[in-house]
Amino acid sequence: MKKILLFCILSSLLASCFLMNPYRTEHFTFSKNGTEHTVPFVVPKGYNKKWTSVDAAGNTILTYTYRSGPVFYLSYMADTASEMQPIVLQENLPLQSLTSGAIIYKGMDENMLYFREIRQNNYRMGYRFVNGDQEYKFDSATNYMVVWPIEKPKL
């Protein structure tokens, strides 16, 4: 009887860990060289709007907006000269991931809200307008691209 009770308690605890996960697994679909590709990634839960757009240059952008103002995005940039957000390069020195080769920019805007962008080959993942209380969730979601690169780094 004790073993059954212990098993039930342990199962409940494990299940509650999965219910409290602050992230949702999503899929990003884009066209590259005429072929459709789909890649998984994680996004912080709680977004109220999600949309995909393709611009004239062929850049595919998946955007999530949140009620309190943050914006999260993942994009495939056919034109890598295009910007997803204005980053003053003289004020924001990039870091480079040794494992994936991704370039990482992070900083604060004039309203003291955080931004971050990970650039890896033709991909961009990032966020804007995030306050300090939510920063860890958005950082963890963008770390997904650093730890699990969409494509292997070009050597």
Q: What is the pLDDT along the chain (155 residues), one digit of tens a residue?
A: 555 544 444 444 444 444 458 899 999 999 888 899 998 999 999 999 999 999 999 999 999 999 999 999 999 999 988 888 888 888 888 999 888 888 999 999 999 999 999 999 899 999 999 999 999 999 999 997 777 666 654 44
In this structure, is residue 122 part of a structural domain? yes
Query: Is residue 1 in a domain?
Result: no
The verdict on residue 66 lying in a domain is yes
Q: How far, CA to CA in Å, does 146 sit from each of 49, 76, 96?
A: 25, 15, 10
35 CB-side CA count, 13 A:
3
Q: Are 137 and 115 in contact (CB under 8 A)?
A: no
Domain range for residue 138? 25-147
User: How many domains does the chain fold into?
Assistant: 1
Alpha helices in the chain (DSSP H): 2-19, 135-147
Inside any domain, residue 86 = yes
Residue 155 within any structural domain of the chain: no
DSSP state of 112: S
| Within a domain: 7 | no
108 within some domain: yes
Residue 134 counted as domain residue: yes
